[in-house]
C-alpha cells in the first residue's frame, strides 16, 4: 500500500516537496512554490498548468491544476508504475481506481464494466469528490479531485 497523499477528510493533496494543495490554493501559490522547470502553464488554456511527474512510493504521478479566477477547482492526475511516457488521454483506469481506493480507504472493490453506460468510479465528500470518470462520447477517462467551492 502506498503512502497517503490525499486527506479524505479535507480533500488536501500533499505533493512530493511537502506543499499542500487545498480548495483555497491559488495559481499564484503554485507559481511562487515551483520553478518553471517543474510547473508548466498550458499553451492552450490560461487556467491550466501541469506539474512534472514525480515518484510517490511505487507510483509515478503527473498532476494538472485547473483554476477559475486564479482559484483551484480541479486537480487531474495520471498514475503509472514506471515513468510516464504515454500520450495524454490514454488513462490507466484500473490502476488509478485502485490508487484512489487505497488513498480514500474505499473497500468497495469497484470493477469496471464497460457495458454499463455512464459508468464511473466516484467518491463524494463534503469538500467535493474524487474519482475516475469515463466519457463515452470520445472514449477517454479522467481521474481527478474536484472541489465544490467553485463551479465550472
Question: Percent of the chain scored above 70 by pLDDT?
Answer: 91
Q: What value does the mean pLDDT of the chain take? A: 88
The pLDDT of residue 81: 87
Give the C-alpha separation, 89 to 104, whole Å.
24
Q: How far is CA 80 from CA 48, 54, 60, in A?
A: 21, 11, 5
The pLDDT of residue 152: 43
pTM here is: 0.88
The pLDDT of residue 151: 47
Which tens digits make up the pLDDT trace of 17-46? Answer: 999 999 999 999 999 999 999 999 999 998
Give the C-alpha separation, 13 to 99, whole Å.
14
pLDDT at 72 over 80: yes
The pLDDT of residue 113: 79
Which tens digits make up the pLDDT trace of 76-103? Answer: 999 988 887 755 555 688 899 999 999 9
Amino acid at each position: 500500500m502506498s503512502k497517503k497523499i490525499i486527506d479524505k477528510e479535507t480533500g488536501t493533496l500533499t505533493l512530493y516537496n511537502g506543499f499542500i494543495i487545498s480548495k483555497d490554493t491559488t495559481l499564484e501559490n503554485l507559481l511562487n512554490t515551483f520553478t518553471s522547470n517543474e510547473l508548466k502553464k498550458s499553451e492552450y488554456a490560461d487556467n491550466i498548468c501541469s506539474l512534472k511527474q514525480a515518484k510517490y512510493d511505487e507510483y509515478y504521478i503527473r498532476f494538472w491544476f485547473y483554476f477559475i479566477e486564479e482559484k483551484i477547482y480541479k486537480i487531474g492526475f495520471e498514475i503509472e508504475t514506471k515513468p510516464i511516457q504515454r500520450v495524454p488521454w490514454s488513462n490507466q483506469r484500473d490502476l488509478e481506481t485502485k490508487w484512489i481506493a487505497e488513498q480514500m480507504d474505499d473497500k468497495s472493490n469497484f470493477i469496471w464494466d464497460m457495458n454499463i453506460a455512464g459508468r464511473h468510479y466516484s467518491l463524494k465528500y463534503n469538500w467535493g469528490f474524487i474519482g475516475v470518470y469515463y466519457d463515452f462520447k470520445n472514449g477517454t477517462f479522467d481521474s481527478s479531485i474536484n472541489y465544490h467551492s467553485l463551479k465550472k
